[in-house]
Structure 1
Amino acid sequence: MDSGDLNRALQYYKEAVKLKPAFPEAYLNLGNIYKALAMPQEAIVCYQRAVQTRPNYPVALGNLASTYYERGQLDLAIHHYKQAIAYDQRFVEAYNNLGNALKDVGRVDEAIQCYNQCLTLQPNHPQALTNLGNIYMEWNMVGAAASYYKATLAVTTGLSAPFNNLAVIYKQQVVLWCSIFCFFFWEITWKLYLVTMRFYGLIHWQLMDL
């Protein structure tokens, strides 16, 4: 939808809420349009009005939380994601997005719980799989990270992060094996050198006796 279509839709929804002020769906859609037009503060006001007219509106709460998250207001984002989940305990995207916000404020264990809950509801959720892989990658648990990245690629090839991070893991493994090979090669070469020098010394000593 181009900006012209968005602006026309904006006018229609404004008219709708003017005619029916207690119209939560119209406020939700109006907020979505403001967000698409890069007007986040106006979007927040609309989502808040949607929640005021229908307090148990998980989609509006989730969109409000996402807008706060994009503005870096992480505490507000976490609060509203939790509210959305309280009203809809099967809100898959809210669990994943709450995990992202919790991870960003350093509450990684809680983030993992959210990603796992997301996967309980939708086992093939690619973002949750990737997000778990990223955490284990940061913890240098490359085996666990690789398993989550592979699981992501089994359900989608539309995310670049799993490809990139798997490449990093495999590169690290190649470097590790090369380092091990070089170490043992050096050890064997050094020992052969010592044996050779001892043998040479023994021959030299025997020749001196002659």
Structure 2
Amino acid sequence: MPARFRIHHAVLLLSLALLCVSLTRAQTTSDEPENEDDSVQLFQQGQDAHEAGDLTRALEFYERALKVHPEFPEAEYQRGNAFVALNRLSEAEVSFRRAIELQTKWPLPYLAFGKLLMRAERFDEAETILSRSLELDENNPIAPVALANLYVRMKAPRSKLQPLLETLKSATSREPSNVNFWAARGSIERALDDKTAALSSFDRVLLMDKGNVAALMERAELRAEAKNYEGALTDALAAQRASKSSLAATLLVARIYAGSGKTAEAVRTLDALDEAGKRLPEVVSLRNSLTKDCGNLTAEERVAEEELLKQQPGNASLIECLGAALRTSDPTRSLELYRQAAEIEPRNLRYATGYGAALVQARRFAEAAAILRRILDIQPDNLVAHTNLATALYELKQFPAAVAEFKWLVETKPDLVVAYFFIATAHDNLGEYTDALAAYETFLARADAQKNQLEIDKVNLRLPLLRKQVKRGEGVKKKKGGK
């Protein structure tokens, strides 16, 4: 049995003394025949069975001990732990509450109950209980770690995060270093957006425990955010190995591949899961976002996505896919969906990019340009971000900046012929007629008569006059040495 479950004799001294008094009193006043079962012995037998993994038998012993002596907090506590292991959570809650009632200043049942409440996502109650556990024993090595996990999950405000960080800093200053304190400290530093400090804390964790899965995953995410995809993937793959291909680690590997533009590798990672794993909603959703053409869903597929979203309202991948499907038919709804996805996973640049593209579709060009520029600061090769930023800048009549974006696009994707049309018209609007003429002619040489007929017609109407303007030397003259 793990050390956290076994209650040793030293912990029981006071309870056992009280128990003996109570039993003696009961035995001398009761008319019932003497009960040969000794509650303490039964409790120890329960712990032995618990340690051996025989939870059903352990419960039998704990309940027999409690039948002999109902006011036995240690037995209630251990019964609660057995119920948790058997996933009988409502019964576990009753046992932990009873243990607390019997021994109000004993921190262990508070801690176990708080973690149970976290599991049930009853975060406010969990915070109260875990805080009480820490108050009862400020040297408790588990309570601040549990609180850190809780605060990260509930996205607690800075006013709660900062005091806990100070507690964890004090804890990590003591020797010997405790790996769990450092891991919790890193998580809180990351929640406070102190990425440098968080990376340093996770580095310390991995120096002490190179296979610490949580630290490997957190550091992988931080490295991915800093565009260090190689380092991020190294950590994520190490977490996958250390966790024996856990779902969380495998999804992280796939997301890092996707974030770095390696869609095929991301899909292969998901396809390597067993059949049960492949059917999980989060896996199906991520794979669909990588392979499904969300922008061209049929009406039936849209209805299916809406129904699935009702079942999984917090699934960012589903929200993003539906946002893409509605981008042209319902720009306002699309924009809101992308905003939700980006809010759920603010570090996912794909969702932020989709939000920027939806802003362009909604003709909110200034907002789109601001968001897309921030994305490109982090991910400079993001083709979708460049495409939408070019459009936003063009519509804002910021033609020099738009030309720079469109030129990046044709250098990166030479078959994007229509970009030459926008480069030409931008130069034309700036009065840079020589550059406009060169770009128009390049466009005509590469344009497809079926795909680009509208633009071809516009160019053919413009060219006769433009050639005369160039011949007459009209237009803005670039300074000597200008390109």
- Note if 1:108 corresponds to 2:402: no
- Of 447, 461, 464, the match for 1:170: 464
- Of 14, 24, 27, the match for 2:316: 24
Task: Sort the Cα spacing of 1:171 and 1:129 in 2 relative to 1 into closer, same or farther, 3 A.
Answer: same
Structure 1 counterpart SS, 2:305: helix
Q: Tell me the residue number matched to 1:203.
A: none
- Note if 1:161 corresponds to 2:452: no
User: Counterpart amino acid of 2:435?
Assistant: A
Task: Sort the Cα spacing of 1:135 and 1:162 in 2 relative to 1 into closer, same or farther, 3 A.
Answer: farther
C-alpha distance in 1, partners of 2:306/2:438? 48
User: Counterpart amino acid of 1:148?
Assistant: A
Task: Sort the Cα spacing of 1:18 and 1:40 in 2 relative to 1 into closer, same or farther, 3 A.
Answer: same
Q: Tell me the residue number matched to 1:145.
A: 436
Structure 2 counterpart SS, 1:35: coil
- Kept in 2: contact 1:98–1:114 (CA 8 A): yes
User: Counterpart amino acid of 1:53?
Assistant: I
C-alpha distance in 1, partners of 2:342/2:349? 9
C-alpha distance in 2, partners of 1:149/1:61? 34
* Structure 1 residue ranges without an equivalent (≥5): 180-210
* Structure 2 residue ranges without an equivalent (≥5): 1-296, 473-483
- Note if 1:39 corresponds to 2:330: yes
Matches within 5 A, 1:50-65: 50-65=341-356
- Kept in 1: contact 2:433–2:469 (CA 8 A): no
- Of 11, 18, 25, the match for 2:303: 11
Bigger Cα displacement from structure 2, 163-172 vs 71-80: 163-172
Task: Sort the Cα spacing of 1:138 and 1:89 in 2 relative to 1 into closer, same or farther, 3 A.
Answer: same
How far 1:27 sits from its partner (Å)?
0.8
C-alpha distance in 2, partners of 1:59/1:135? 29
Structure 1 counterpart SS, 2:392: helix
User: Counterpart amino acid of 1:168?
Assistant: R
Q: Tell me the residue number matched to 1:82.
A: 373
How far 1:29 sits from its partner (Å)?
1.4
How far 1:163 sits from its partner (Å)?
4.1
Task: Sort the Cα spacing of 1:162 and 1:141 in 2 relative to 1 into closer, same or farther, 3 A.
Answer: farther
How far 1:144 sits from its partner (Å)?
1.7
* Cα deviation 1:140-193 (Å, max 9, x = unaligned): 33332122123223333222224422442224546998x9xxxxxxxxxxxxxx
User: Counterpart amino acid of 1:88?
Assistant: Q
User: Counterpart amino acid of 2:462?
Assistant: V
Larger Rg: 2
How far 1:98 sits from its partner (Å)?
1.0
Structure 2 counterpart SS, 1:170: helix
* Cα deviation 1:12-38 (Å, max 9, x = unaligned): 2123233334422211111123334x3
C-alpha distance in 1, partners of 2:322/2:316? 10
C-alpha distance in 2, partners of 1:49/1:86? 22
Task: Sort the Cα spacing of 1:141 and 1:107 in 2 relative to 1 into closer, same or farther, 3 A.
Answer: closer
Task: Sort the Cα spacing of 1:25 and 1:154 in 2 relative to 1 into closer, same or farther, 3 A.
Answer: farther
How far 1:47 sits from its partner (Å)?
0.7
Q: Going by fraction, where is helix more abundant, 1 or 2?
A: 1
Task: Sort the Cα spacing of 1:121 and 1:26 in 2 relative to 1 into closer, same or farther, 3 A.
Answer: same
- Kept in 2: contact 1:24–1:50 (CA 8 A): yes
How far 1:74 sits from its partner (Å)?
1.7
Aligned length: 173
Task: Sort the Cα spacing of 1:149 and 1:163 in 2 relative to 1 into closer, same or farther, 3 A.
Answer: farther
How far 1:132 sits from its partner (Å)?
0.9
C-alpha distance in 2, partners of 1:78/1:72? 11
Q: Tell me the residue number matched to 2:57.
A: none
